[in-house]
């Protein structure tokens, strides 16, 4: 059985990026949404990515960014792919695909998974996060894992929302996601990670 893949998101500091990048993770997320407390300037990110391990995937998190701006940031920084955590449409995603940009669509789940909505996007991978009226992620709220477990579809799930070292094993056992996405659950404060918490999280999965 394959190990659930791990993405640590919301990193803002170069030293932490390099330290976490040397751990047993698969992807690292950088928030490029200015209102977020985890926002990182593209110029700063541009200095970090070349120093990360070569097989670590770097993912830029965007919220309702214009296509032109998003493409410009991806090309400037060297990001491998993007995570769309806003209200982006299927047409928006098609436009990115045509420009050669790989993407993951983030869906905030309020009570039930809207599979009709998922099926309007041409992707078999979706990031599911907890619903919030005011925020687009990083709230620390958890999803109802039992409802996700009961799904009857072929979609591969990247599970986000309130994951931390003391609950990640239960979440994986219930949902069997392709990957987990963790941000606030391994933080000291928004954008500043606890390396000890990241290590404990990994130990629960590896």
- pLDDT score of 141 more than 80: no
- pLDDT score of 103 more than 70: yes
Give catalytic status of residue 9 as yes or no: yes
**5-205 CATH, one of 3.20.20.70, 3.40.50.1000, 3.40.50.880, 3.50.30.60:** 3.20.20.70
The predicted structure's pLDDT at residue 145: 84
99 within 8 A of 78, measured Cβ to Cβ? no
Give the residue-averaged pLDDT of 164-182: 94
The predicted structure's pLDDT at residue 133: 54
- pLDDT score of 188 more than 80: yes
State the chain's maximal CA–CA distance in angstroms. 43
- Most confident range (mean pLDDT) of 121-125, 142-146, 165-169 is 165-169
C-alpha to C-alpha distance for 79 and 16, rounded to whole angstroms: 18
Confidence of residue 61 (pLDDT cuts 50, 70, 90): very high
C-alpha to C-alpha distance for 183 and 94, rounded to whole angstroms: 28
Confidence of residue 151 (pLDDT cuts 50, 70, 90): low
> What is the pTM for the complete model shown?
0.92
Beta-carbon contacts of residue 35 (< 8 Å; ≥ 6 apart): none
Residues in the chain: 206
Give catalytic status of residue 153 as yes or no: no
Confidence of residue 3 (pLDDT cuts 50, 70, 90): confident
Q: Which of 87, 114, 129, 146 is catalytic?
A: 129
The predicted structure's pLDDT at residue 116: 81
The β-bridge partners of 90 are none
């Amino acid at each position: 059985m394959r190990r659930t893949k791990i993405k640590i998101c919301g990193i803002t500091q170069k030293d932490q990026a390099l330290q976490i990048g040397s751990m047993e993770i698969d992807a690292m997320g950088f928030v490029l949404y200015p209102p977020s407390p985890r926002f990182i300037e593209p110029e700063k990110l541009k200095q970090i990515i070349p120093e990360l391990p070569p097989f670590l995937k770097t993912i830029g998190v965007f919220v309702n960014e214009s296509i032109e701006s998003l493409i410009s940031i991806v090309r400037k920084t060297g990001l491998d792919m993007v995570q769309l955590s806003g209200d982006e449409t299927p047409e928006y995603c098609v436009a990115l695909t045509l420009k050669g940009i790989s993407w993951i669509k983030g869906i905030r789940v309020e009570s039930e998974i809207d599979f009709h909505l998922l099926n309007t996007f041409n992707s078999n991978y979706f990031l599911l996060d907890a619903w919030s009226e005011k925020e687009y992620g990083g709230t620390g709220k958890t999803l109802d894992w039992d409802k996700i477990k009961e799904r009857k579809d072929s979609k591969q799930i990247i599970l986000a929302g309130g994951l931390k070292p003391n609950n990640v094993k239960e979440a994986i056992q219930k949902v069997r996601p392709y990957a987990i996405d963790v941000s606030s659950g391994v933080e000291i404060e928004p954008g500043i990670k606890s390396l000890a918490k990241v290590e404990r999280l990994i130990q629960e999965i590896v």
